[in-house]
Amino acid sequence: MFRVGLGHDTHPLVPGNALLLGGIRIEHDQQALGHSDADVLLHAITDALLGAAGLGDIGEMFPDTDPANRGRDSAEMLAAAGSRMTLAGWQITNLDCVIFAQRPKILPHRTAIRERIATILSVDSSVVWLKAKTGEGLGPIGQQQAIAAECVVLIQRTS
């Protein structure tokens, strides 16, 4: 038995000195603004996993109304969602992600991000794929006002 999950997240960009993407710190003149550490990629993956397994979403598991989630490490949230999915009898078959950002260029960081996600989820990095798209200068992404990520995950029953 297989299931598919879709995850999406968007955060505004503000002046800063680094972005967190896929659990990797990337030096940059902007940072994402959010209740937790604002890692849009890990948030999108978390939602994709929870949705595929029918286990809710990131807002249910880690509500922004809970002060304990202020500044929370998104890798910790993803690991918890991955554990919940595994305990429910599912495993990741394939994870395909897209980061939408005008800057910075993602390609130089792609391998490190894929490996970090694989480590968090205890899967082989060949299971994780990552692409990036710019906004071509259009809209909030293209005008560098926001960053977004989308992920599709395929999971399969382990028992």
Q: What is the CATH number of the domain that holds 29?
A: 3.30.1330.50
Judge whether 118 and 128 are in contact, CB under 8 Å. Answer: yes
**Could you tell me the two tokens for 109?**
């960081």
What is the per-residue pLDDT for 89? 97
Task: Report the predicted TM-score, pTM, of the whole model to 2 decimal places.
Answer: 0.96
Give the confidence band of 90 by pLDDT, cuts at 50, 70, 90.
very high
**Angstrom distance (rounded) from CA 37 to CA 118:** 19
Which residue range forms the structural domain that includes residue 23? 2-157
Count of domains forming the chain = 1
What is the per-residue pLDDT for 145? 97
Judge whether 88 and 80 are in contact, CB under 8 Å. Answer: no
Question: Quick one: which of 105, 102, 155, 103 has its CA closest to 130?
Answer: 105
Stretch 61-89: mean pLDDT = 92
